[in-house]
Structure 1
Amino acid sequence: MNLEKRTISELPYVLIPKSNLKILIDTGSTKSYCNPTIAENFFQNKIRKEPFIVKTAHGSSRGNFTTLVPCEKLHVAKEKVIEEKNKDREDLPAIPPEVYVKTVQKQSKTKPKYNKEIIKTIDHELKTAQIIPRHHNTKEKIHLSNIRRPKKFSESVINAWDDTLDRSEVLTKKFGLNITREDLLTLRESNWLNDKIINFYMELIDQRSRQNHKLPTTFSFNTFLYVSLKAGGYTRVKNYTRKTDLFEKDIIFIPIFKAAHWRLITIYIKLQKIEYLDSLGKDGTDILEDIKNYLTEEHNHKKGTPLDTTNWKFTQRTDIPLQQNNDDCGVFVCQYAKSLGSSEEIQIKHSQIPEVRKLMCEEILANELL
């Protein structure tokens, strides 16, 4: 077929977004207009002799030539997007051999996540790097903006952690709780989190659930439930749920402080299981038994019959990240609940704790999870 008799719409091409570039593709078929030898002479050093496949309406054609087309407009547009994303982050640090980068696996349904990868080469002009993937399905090329960097935090966090100011000053109030500077200082450095901080944070998790109907419905008890339950039995705590039907929720969180250590109970009503999460890996058999008995009596009180737990599972999670000191148990409890409340994998690591503490302070001051 002659070139004059074919319209541009009949030729395979790639349209570069945000530019006026339209790249025609020569498939090397018998009806091709461009002899590969001619193309190689014309483009000279822009030819890459690597196998490729072009899929067209006529099927797939294989060839051994492709060309690199300069897309200056596209690079400029991309840099503007990256600059906007990075405006609240610190300057790009020197790139060490091993870094944590947000990698994307080749299946489109896989969520990006940060993994420790080894840098092979860096292209400073394009701001990209080749990594040596630890997983065979991870893409090898990344942009340097995907390297984990510390996030800048607002002046409000600096103010909240200034212990030269009035410690009794109320810096935020919601959920019937007044959070003072004294409370927020428990998030600084290696301090132990107090009840008010944990209760407020659990309320933020429930608030997120109410605002996003795609997430599981959650209900968080305050930190006094277990203490009251042990002190006075079910009678002492039966009014804790006077406005809530636990058995209509997807997930129930119970933060527990026992023997100078925070731990978390997670109840999955529909899945009929109760899990015990402890960042020190301590045994929680007695706590699981207490919560099972509480749930049985709660069902009897609300539904008129004891809860049949014959098919329920009671598990101590051993696949969770653990703390490496005696100070961060409260932080781990909050982050366990934050991840589970959004059906995400728990990925908190000990090395991230300073950054997580700052983020928690920011979230409490903003009255929402960030």
Structure 2
Amino acid sequence: MLLYEYVTSEGSDQCYSSSSRVPSQGARGTKFQEENKQQFRHTQTKTGLKKGRKAESSTGKDDIIERKLPKEDEEQSSHTQTKTGIKKGREAESSTWKNDIMETKLPKEDEEQSRHTQTKRGLKKARKAEMSTLNDDIIEAIKVNCKRCHSDVMAQINKVAVCYRDMATLLRENWLNDVIINAYLELIHLKSRTDGRAAKIYPFLSQWYQFVTLKGATLMERWARNTDLASYEWLLFPVNTNAHWFLIGFQPKSKTIASFDSLHGENELDMELAIDALAVMWKKKYGMPFVCQAKVVPVPRQKNSYDCGVYLCYFAYYLSIQPDAEEIPDIDSKEYRHRMVLDLYRGSLML
């Protein structure tokens, strides 16, 4: 089918046919489509090349990174390990150095401590030896005075006057007299009043036994009228039966009474006398009946016939340091005699 296009010029009615080479709308559309296809192919080609180059570049970079990263990681790891190793090495070296210093110092400190301890021990031994020598000199001087001035008073223990002739009973293998017994028990009493480490002890004079035996227990109420007997740990009654010394003790807090006899006698009658005396004083003092029960405290046995008084004093002393003792250990009676001499000479008791 032939298409005609009429072109009218301004002021002219002339027309032209398609044979005059004016392209039709269909021919131009076809050409445009071809040009568009070529343009699209070109654009696709350029886009593809661009993507390909980009992908190639990305792959290349990744390969480079993959090739570089392990090496860098390895170097970094190696560097970290090196630093860690150097740090550990320095720490180990420092620790070894400190240990060497400590090992160097400790023996020196131990040596100084050892010297200090040895010096203290040496001084202690020297003082002990010096004190022993001094004590021996004191005992020898007392022995001389016992012969030269036996009537002179060596010490005044509260109301008890101790003469040199009394001290002679301690320095010889002999029975102790009433003065030594009462004076030493008074030392224990004074110590218990002034030293918080010692138990409170209240001793009666040794004459209580003869007093109760001859006059009865009723008059004993005057012996302790100003004393709170219940406040003491032990009330002590020294007993002398003309041939033997032993001790009777009453413990107020436990309401028990015991006999401390170095010949292990039962002494039941003598304990009854002490109970009668306590009953009178208790009723006068507290207005109540006296109740107690007997108990047995094992004591050592004397090894001769003359140390009973020494053991009596020792039992009283031991009760002052161990008021709840269930048993009393043995002593060297000769050494304890010397100790009693020194305590009486100084007028104080050493616990």
TM range (shorter): 0.5 to 0.7
Aligned partner of 1:335 in structure 2 is 314
1:218–1:253 CA contact under 8 A, matched in 2: yes
Aligned partner of 2:115 in structure 1 is 76
Counterpart of 2:177, as a letter, is: N
Give, in whole Å, the separation in 2 of the partners of 1:183 and 1:302.
35
- 1:1-370 equivalence runs, <5 A: 2=88, 4-5=90-91, 21-22=105-106, 71-90=110-129, 153-162=135-144, 163-307=146-290, 309=291, 312-317=292-297, 319-343=298-322, 346-349=328-331, 352-370=332-350
Q: What displacement does 1:275 show?
A: 0.7
1:154–1:362 CA contact under 8 A, matched in 2: no
Give, in whole Å, the separation in 2 of the partners of 1:296 and 1:285.
16
1:192–1:328 CA contact under 8 A, matched in 2: yes
Residues 244 and 3 from structure 1, CA distance in 2 versus in 1: closer, same or farther, beyond 3 angstroms?
farther
Residues 5 and 182 from structure 1, CA distance in 2 versus in 1: closer, same or farther, beyond 3 angstroms?
same
Match of 1:241, SS?
coil
Residues 22 and 293 from structure 1, CA distance in 2 versus in 1: closer, same or farther, beyond 3 angstroms?
same
The structure whose residues are more often helix, as a share, is 2
Give the TM-score of the pair, scaled to structure 2: 0.66
Q: Which runs of 5+ in 2 are unaligned?
A: 1-86
Q: What displacement does 1:5 show?
A: 4.8
Q: What displacement does 1:219 show?
A: 0.5
Counterpart of 1:364, as a letter, is: L
RMSD: 2.9
Give, in whole Å, the separation in 2 of the partners of 1:3 and 1:186.
82
Aligned partner of 2:22 in structure 1 is none
| TM-superposition CA deviations, 1:35-92 (whole Å, max 9, x none) | xxxxxxxxxxxxxxxxxxxxxxxxxxxxxxxxxx99432222112111221124459x
Counterpart of 2:181, as a letter, is: I
Q: Which runs of 5+ in 1 are unaligned?
A: 24-68, 92-149
Counterpart of 1:355, as a letter, is: E
Match of 2:175, SS?
coil
Q: What displacement does 1:347 show?
A: 2.6
Q: How many residues matched?
A: 256
Counterpart of 1:222, as a letter, is: L
Residues 70 and 331 from structure 1, CA distance in 2 versus in 1: closer, same or farther, beyond 3 angstroms?
same
Give the TM-score of the pair, scaled to structure 1: 0.63
Counterpart of 1:323, as a letter, is: Q
Q: What displacement does 1:12 show?
A: 10
Match of 1:274, SS?
strand
Give, in whole Å, the separation in 2 of the partners of 1:151 and 1:274.
42
The sequence identity of aligned pairs, in percent, is 24
Give, in whole Å, the separation in 1 of the partners of 2:239 and 2:133.
31
| TM-superposition CA deviations, 1:329-358 (whole Å, max 9, x none) | 000000001011111763333xx1111111
2:264–2:301 CA contact under 8 A, matched in 1: yes
Match of 2:337, SS?
helix
Give, in whole Å, the separation in 2 of the partners of 1:334 and 1:151.
25
Query: Looking at both structures, which has the greater relative contact order when contacts are Cα pairs under 8 Å and sequence separation is at least 6?
Result: 2
2:236–2:250 CA contact under 8 A, matched in 1: yes
Counterpart of 2:137, as a letter, is: E
| TM-superposition CA deviations, 1:274-303 (whole Å, max 9, x none) | 110110111211122222222222111111
Aligned partner of 1:47 in structure 2 is none
Give, in whole Å, the separation in 2 of the partners of 1:3 and 1:184.
80
Residues 71 and 227 from structure 1, CA distance in 2 versus in 1: closer, same or farther, beyond 3 angstroms?
same
Q: What displacement does 1:154 show?
A: 4.7
Give, in whole Å, the separation in 2 of the partners of 1:294 and 1:178.
26
Residues 151 and 341 from structure 1, CA distance in 2 versus in 1: closer, same or farther, beyond 3 angstroms?
farther
**Structure number with bigger Rg:** 2
Greater alpha carbon shift after TM alignment, 212-221 vs 184-193: 212-221
Match of 2:280, SS?
helix
1:173–1:179 CA contact under 8 A, matched in 2: yes
Match of 1:22, SS?
helix
Give, in whole Å, the separation in 2 of the partners of 1:267 and 1:236.
19
